[in-house]
A and B are shown apart, each in its own frame.
Chain A
């Protein structure tokens, strides 16, 4: 083979490697970090309807408000308060994410009139009858998981990475109810559109699907059911803040479902650290 042909092959190889780099060279943790960076806001308030669907199809509704404050070192503070029905009204959960997944978490039950610190074992318990465990409600804890890119799949016309997340520390493995989770993250907008949760015996336990993506400004998107019709995801959502306005968590083992429908949302309205305190929790 001539020297010129070798050179041509070398250039072609290098070029194809470079072209493949944007998608292929990005590691799973890079994707997770980028996702967090793009979708992160200073603070957020969502009013949600939780529709609990039993195995027989009977439904119950709960209304909650959820506030999130992004903190330093990617550690968020989250307050969830039930607004209805009457028997759970004002029940609230406050989470301060901690390093290594070592969160502080308090539950306020109005009948007791004081907050109660929840132990780690409680974090995998289901939150107030929904199909969400307490740990499902916290932000993704990058520091205590290992992430592996396990494939790609097109969901609702959008190409997604499939990232497998496993507990990386003994503490997280002990505290979590899951052996691992799979996350489907859109390649164009770094937004999670699906999650699968596998129990400690590695059996599929729950599937969470996100629908009705909306742009909530800049690079941040969410999913929503009641947002204006023109707020649906455009063909290209690169560099957009995305939110999903409808999330469904299906327990494939028990046959139950919880559908979360976002009624309204406010982003970056200047919530302060003081809001995520005992004083607000017991209010």
Chain B
């Protein structure tokens, strides 16, 4: 049994025992939580990684308190372990820049004060803007943990948010004083794409922005409801959380010059809008942004996604309901910054799209969800990247609620396409996964 599996089982057992023996004591303390064990079984070795089994365990504790009439507090703390090396050491950073996760960490920690329609929240927060399902171009405030890009999650940012609410309109303004980059796949992970042996380059450490006033990011969103439409306008001024590559050369010796790639972060201004409405049985939604480069960017871009949800009531003994989601995402270049030394990450010579960070340049997204019963759901979802040579990501997942507290899910991930395409670069990473979740 692997170390993480052992830790996971211990956490699950510990949580179960704690919940079973002392439910009142936990509740009295205002503590709730979940223990999660995940196991991934890859079908083949990858060029850079021969570990085919990866196990992760997570224990999450949550404390919430509402104070009468004036505010609320929330803390979500996590303990993690895994047998790949995603998690190492104990580090508490503001902002988080460690490439690996800490054994203990704060996922969220907020304090809110409210007076009338005005609410101020400070702390480590996770925001969720936008109306689309697969991808939200207007949602720019939080970086992601992409150590496993398919099993990614948002990273909270230390920030202050002011919300002004009226029945049909609300305005949120957020300031994030520090820049937190997304956590990228580790160097020897199967998720770091291998490049052809003919491609030789020097890759620098990422150049992160100085953590001073110039690193401050801020965003605002005005959302309203009018005649059956939810409409939002949003603005973000800050950094893209995944790096792009600045290209240059390095002379190693007279006559020996190598390409040099320096990961840098694009500073940008992003103006966006989104909508959601219903037409008969369809829920229609869409988002669009104009991303204008301030520094370290190659192109000003327009990104949009539109789609619909459709729910079909079957009411059969073995099939209660079907949900269909279809979305189309597109990116176009508004303006090319001539003289920019930032590489086009979709078309690096000899590398292709192996360094690309956007799966939604020209993509169709689909999800079919069959609700067999209130406790059992089957999902088939896929993303087809049609930008250039097509590549695909397909996931089949079955989720079952054994009890209100114990949930299991299992499924398969398939990644297809040529090695130089967005999804095809991870063609060796097809896998089976299983998740056990105990809530207490």
List chain A positions with a Cβ less than 8 A from chain B: 60, 85-89, 96, 98, 102, 104, 112-114, 116-122, 124-126, 129, 174, 177, 273-274, 276-279, 283
* Complex alpha-carbon distance, A113 and B425, angstroms: 31
- Mark contacts of B403-420 with chain A using CB atoms, 8 A cut-off: 1 yes-contact digit, 0 otherwise: 011010000000000000
CA distance A129 to B312 in the complex (A): 16
B189 interface hit (Cβ, 8 Å): no
The residues of B that contact A118 with a CB separation of less than 8 Å are: 278, 283
Is B313 a contact of A117 with CB atoms below 8 Å? Answer: no
Query: Which of chain B's residues have a CB closer than 8 A to the CB of A273?
Result: 167
**Stretch in B1-9, B223-231, B261-269, B359-367 touching the partner:** B223-231
A85 contacts B405, C-beta separation under 8 Å: yes
Total contacts A to B, CB within 8 angstroms?
Answer: 88
Closest to B317 in A: A254
Q: A60 with B167: in contact, given A104-B228, A119-B278, A119-B283 (CB under 8 Å)?
A: no
Q: Is the interface of B mostly helix, strand, loop or mixed?
A: strand
| CB-contacts of B59-112 with A (<8 A) | 72
What are 22 A-B residue pairs whose CB atoms fall within 8 Å in the complex?
A86-B404, A86-B439, A86-B440, A89-B32, A113-B128, A117-B230, A117-B278, A117-B283, A118-B278, A119-B280, A119-B281, A120-B280, A121-B280, A121-B281, A122-B283, A129-B374, A177-B313, A273-B167, A274-B167, A277-B165, A279-B170, A283-B72
Chain B residue contacts of A112, Cβ below 8 A:
128
The chain A residue sitting closest to B277, CB to CB, is: A117
Cα A174 to Cα B281 in complex, Å, equals 9
- Is the beta-carbon distance between A87 and B278 smaller than 8 angstroms? no
> Chain B contacts of A177 at CB under 8 A?
313
Which chain A positions have C-beta within 8 A of B285? 117
CA distance A102 to B229 in the complex (A): 12
Instruction: Report B-chain residues with C-beta under 8 Å of the C-beta of A129.
Output: 374
Nearest CB of chain A from residue B362's CB, rounded to whole Å? 26
* B312–A121 touching, CB < 8 Å: yes
Q: Which residue of A lies closest to B136 (CB)?
A: A114
The 6 lowest CB-CB distance pairs between A and B, nearest first, are A121-B281, A113-B128, A86-B439, A85-B404, A129-B374, A279-B165
User: Within 8 Å of chain A (Cβ to Cβ): is B166?
Assistant: yes
Residues of A within 8 A of B310 (CB): 119, 121
Chain B residues, Cβ within 8 Å of A116: 276, 283
How far apart are A198's CB and chain B's nearest CB, in angstroms?
A: 14
Q: Given A112-B128, A117-B278, A119-B278, A60 and B228 touching (CB < 8 A)?
A: no
Cα of A89 to Cα of B276 in the assembled complex, Å: 25
Q: Are B170 and A174 in contact (CB under 8 A)?
A: no
Asked if residues B280 and A277 are in contact (CB atoms below 8 Å), the reply is no
Min C-beta distance of B89 to chain A, whole Å: 28
Is the pair A114, B128 in contact by a Cβ cutoff of 8 Å? yes
Does B401 reach chain A (CB closer than 8 Å)? Answer: yes
Per-residue interface assignment for chain B, residues 203 to 228, with 1 indicating a CB less than 8 Å from any chain A CB and 0 otherwise: 00000000000000000000101001
Interfacial chain A residues near B277, Cβ < 8 Å:
117
CB neighbours of A113 from chain B (8 A): 126-128
Interface string of B320-359 (1 = CB under 8 A from A): 0100000000000000000000000000000000000000
Q: Which of B127, B128, B170, B311 contacts A277 (CB 8 A)?
A: B170
Neighbouring A residues of B167 by C-beta, 8 Å:
273-274, 276-277
B309 adjacent to chain A (CB < 8 Å): yes
What is the CB-to-nearest-CB distance from B310 to chain A, in angstroms, rounded to a whole number?
7
Q: Name 10 extra pairs, CB < 8 A, besides A117-B283, A119-B278.
A: A87-B401, A113-B127, A119-B282, A119-B283, A129-B374, A174-B280, A274-B117, A274-B167, A277-B165, A278-B223
Q: Which residues of B contact A60 (CB under 8 A)?
A: 404
A46 to B313, CA, bound (A): 30
A87 in contact with B313 (CB, 8 Å): no
Which residues from B are CB-within-8-Å of A120? Answer: 278, 280-281
Q: B369 → chain A, closest Cβ, in Å?
A: 13
In this complex, what residue of A is CB-closest to B169?
Answer: A277
State the Cβ distance, A96 to closest chain B Cβ, in Å: 8
Residues of A within 8 A of B278 (CB): 117-120
Q: A102-B228, A117-B283, A120-B281 are in contact. Are A278 and B170 (CB under 8 A)?
A: yes
User: In the assembled complex, how far is the CB of residue B22 from the closest CB belonging to chain A, in whole angstroms?
Assistant: 15
Which chain B residues numbered 270 to 307 have a C-beta less than 8 Å away from chain A? 276-283, 285
Q: Which of B165-183 contact A (CB under 8 A)?
A: 165-168, 170
Residue B119 is within 8 A (CB to CB) of chain A in the complex: yes
When the two chains form their complex, are residues B166 and A274 in contact, meaning their CB atoms are under 8 A apart? yes
B43 located at the interface, meaning its Cβ lies under 8 Å from any Cβ of chain A in the complex: no
Instruction: Please tell me if B163 contacts chain A, counting CB pairs below 8 Å.
Output: yes
Closest residue of B by beta carbon distance from A77: B167
Complex-state Cα separation, A121 to B168, whole angstroms:
23
Nearest B residue to A105 by beta-carbon distance? Answer: B278
